Amino acid sequence: MMRNCPVFVKPAKGSASIAVSKVYDRETVELLYEHEDGLMIQEFLDGQEIGADVYVDMISGEVVSIFTKKKLKMRAGETDKAVSFKDERLFELIEKFVKEAGYTGQIDIDIFDVGGKYYISEVNPLFGG
């Protein structure tokens, strides 16, 4: 068995949670990779999923706005039900991450709260749906 299982195996250029597999062992990961190109492995994070819509000024590189929401219900990779919330500790993490990574414009960040600690999962160049 792989260390750090389960994991998600999904297309690197995927959309709407299509062809996403939660995988529990190394053999299955290897099988998926033998039959499909362009896959990536993402750590499985068991916690509250959070979406952050962030706008970063394209000239100054400064964060203009952060909107965070706890995702309560998902369907086909889109949030069906969510509740907005503010957490200064999370906002500071997002600002630091965005500046260090050099993002500008509109971005959607997927974050997980696992036992009170935030983990950034992925970033998309759009506002979330």
Q: What is the rounded distance in angstroms from the CA atom of residue 106 to the CA atom of residue 129?
A: 13
Mean pLDDT, the chain, whole residue set: 87
Q: Please, is 109 exposed, middle or buried when counting C-beta atoms within 10 Å of its C-beta (0-12, 13-18, 19+)?
A: buried
Identify which of 87, 21, 99, 105 has the alpha carbon closest to the alpha carbon of residue 50.
87
What's residue 1's pLDDT? Answer: 41
Residues of the chain short of pLDDT 70, as ranges, are 1-3, 15-17, 75-78, 127-129
What's residue 14's pLDDT? Answer: 72
